[in-house]
Amino acid sequence: MNAHPPGLDLARLAGHLQREGLTEGPLTAEMITGGKSNLTYVVRDGSGHSQGAGQSPARPGTFVVRRPPLGHVLATAHDMGREYRVMSALQDTPVPVPRTYHLCQDPDVIGAPFYVMEYVEGDQPPLTPRLAHGLVDVLAALHSIAPDDVGLGDFGRPDGFLERQVGRWKRQLDASRSRDVPGIDDLYVRLSQAIPGSGKAAIVHGDFKLGNTLIDGDGRVRAVLDWEMSTLGDPLTDFALFLLYGEFTTLDNGAPGEVPDTGELASHYAEASGRDLSRLGWYVGLACFKLAVIAEGIHFRYTQGLTVGDGFAEIGEQVAPLVARGLREV
């Protein structure tokens, strides 16, 4: 545990959370993700309190704090309120998420907005076909939840979702350009000229992968994490991205493992969700474009010295293979 973790002023955080009735006394913290996305910390207040999944004591004792990354942050990314709202809405649904405790939108407290959530025990074991099928079941369960039933009817704008996704990732690319990436603009053009019609809208996670979950010793999903890209839209964007992470395992911060058979997973998702997968190739191409843009943004921050932790030097090398994969699909 660190008394001065990067990006987290523990003295100011302690004062704020004590005023909110969540902690007692000084805090210690440990960073548990290295800043490829939002910064995440396990924080303890020394009270000796602890909690298990599903419990919500007045003072949790051990909890998790999430804040945006340091440095270059795009305007539409890293929305703490969005993550907090969707996880709060999904409490007590078939989708396992941590309990949420507190949202602070005031950047003066620790230098950025942040939220506090439950600390859930779990691991990220190597991916296996059995675990992949379990993750697909969770994804299908998420896509089966009616947004209005959990207070998320206004969480996004499903009409025109795919058009906006293509445009959004092009804008993100333009905002993070630091080098020439052959083929990436051609991929954008192909995607924009062949957008399929969307089926019934659903809550989409936006970055669903093994590395954004916690798994128990029996291979069951205990929590789905990292909801910063969630919205209402076309659920096949989630499924295609999950398939792609199985191929580009270095972009999934979970442990490497056996690459599942994509045809089997597609059949399993189609049966569990009732969705039409006839245009799945286009969605995989969009997933390639999205991941290429994200990887390029991370590469930009890395070259500027604005990342925290290890594992960033290789991220930029994934952009070209992603673009090539996308061009084969669209």
The pLDDT tens digits of the residues spanning 194-226 come to 999 988 899 999 999 999 999 999 999 999 999
Helix (H) or strand (E) holding 329: helix 319-329
Q: Let me know whether 170 and 84 are in one domain.
A: no
CATH number of the domain residue 168 falls in: 3.90.1200.10
Q: What is the pLDDT of residue 76?
A: 47
**Taking 80 as the threshold, does the pLDDT of residue 33 lie above it?**
no
Q: What is the pLDDT of residue 173?
A: 95
Residues 6+ apart with CB under 8 A from 103: 80, 81, 84, 113, 114, 115, 116
Query: Quick count: other Cβ atoms within 10 Å of Cβ 289?
Result: 26
Q: Which of 118, 138, 157 is the last residue of a domain?
A: 118
Q: Which of 55, 86, 118 is the last residue of a domain?
A: 118
CATH number of the domain residue 59 falls in: 3.30.200.20
Helix, coil or strand: residue 185? helix
Q: Let me know whether 165 and 45 are in one domain.
A: no
Q: What is the pLDDT of residue 248?
A: 84
Q: How confident is the model at residue 320 (pLDDT cuts 50, 70, 90)?
A: very high
Percent share of the chain, pLDDT over 70: 88
125 contacts 218 by C-beta, under 8 angstroms = no
**Taking 60 as the threshold, does the pLDDT of residue 51 lie above it?**
no
Q: Let me know whether 94 and 186 are in one domain.
A: no
Alpha-carbon span 227 to 96, nearest angstrom: 12
Alpha-carbon span 10 to 228, nearest angstrom: 23
Alpha-carbon span 152 to 13, nearest angstrom: 30
Number of domains in the chain: 2
Hey, what amino acid is at 275? Answer: R
Alpha-carbon span 223 to 213, nearest angstrom: 6
User: Which of 14-23, 27-36, 178-187, 240-249 comes out lowest in average pLDDT?
Assistant: 27-36
Q: How confident is the model at residue 35 (pLDDT cuts 50, 70, 90)?
A: very low
**Taking 50 as the threshold, does the pLDDT of residue 75 lie above it?**
no
Q: What is the pLDDT of residue 1?
A: 54
Q: What is the pLDDT of residue 239?
A: 98
Q: What is the mean pLDDT of the chain?
A: 89
**Taking 80 as the threshold, does the pLDDT of residue 147 lie above it?**
yes
Q: Let me know whether 262 and 310 are in one domain.
A: yes
| Domain assignment present for 168 | yes
Hey, what amino acid is at 84? Answer: Y
Q: What is the pLDDT of residue 250?
A: 72
User: Which of 170-184, 185-199, 201-215, 307-321 comes out lowest in average pLDDT?
Assistant: 307-321
β-strand partners of 138: none
Closest CA relative to residue 322, chosen from 208, 240, 226: 240
Q: What is the pLDDT of residue 5?
A: 87
Q: Let me know whether 90 and 170 are in one domain.
A: no
Alpha-carbon span 203 to 146, nearest angstrom: 8
Closest CA relative to residue 157, chosen from 189, 103, 190, 198: 198
Alpha-carbon span 173 to 168, nearest angstrom: 9
32 contacts 41 by C-beta, under 8 angstroms = yes
Helix, coil or strand: residue 91? coil
Q: What is the mean pLDDT of residues 1-5?
A: 67
Residues 6+ apart with CB under 8 A from 7: 31, 35, 39, 67, 69, 70, 110, 111, 112, 308
Q: What is the pLDDT of residue 328?
A: 97
Residue 223 is part of which domain span? 129-329
Q: Which one of 41-50, 194-203, 230-239 scores highest in mean pLDDT? A: 230-239
Q: How confident is the model at residue 56 (pLDDT cuts 50, 70, 90)?
A: very low
Q: What is the pLDDT of residue 72?
A: 46
Hey, what amino acid is at 122? Answer: G
Q: Let me know whether 210 and 300 are in one domain.
A: yes
**Taking 80 as the threshold, does the pLDDT of residue 309 lie above it?**
no
**Taking 60 as the threshold, does the pLDDT of residue 254 lie above it?**
no
Alpha-carbon span 83 to 91, nearest angstrom: 13
Task: Choose between 171 and 255: higher pLDDT.
Answer: 171
Q: Which of 92, 118, 144 is the last residue of a domain?
A: 118
Closest CA relative to residue 111, chosen from 28, 21, 16, 217: 16
CA 313 to chain centre: 21
Structure tokens at 197: 């019609």
Closest CA relative to residue 240, chosen from 189, 202, 299, 289: 289
pLDDT in tens, 149-162: 999 999 999 999 99
| Domain assignment present for 60 | yes
Q: What is the mean pLDDT of residues 11-23?
A: 94
CA 303 to chain centre: 23
Is residue 154 classed exposed, middle or buried when 0-12, 13-18 and 19+ CB atoms within 10 A define those classes?
Answer: exposed
Dihedral sign from CA coordinates of 266, 271, 275, 278: positive
Alpha-carbon span 191 to 289, nearest angstrom: 9
Q: What is the pLDDT of residue 319?
A: 95
Q: Let me know whether 134 and 156 are in one domain.
A: yes
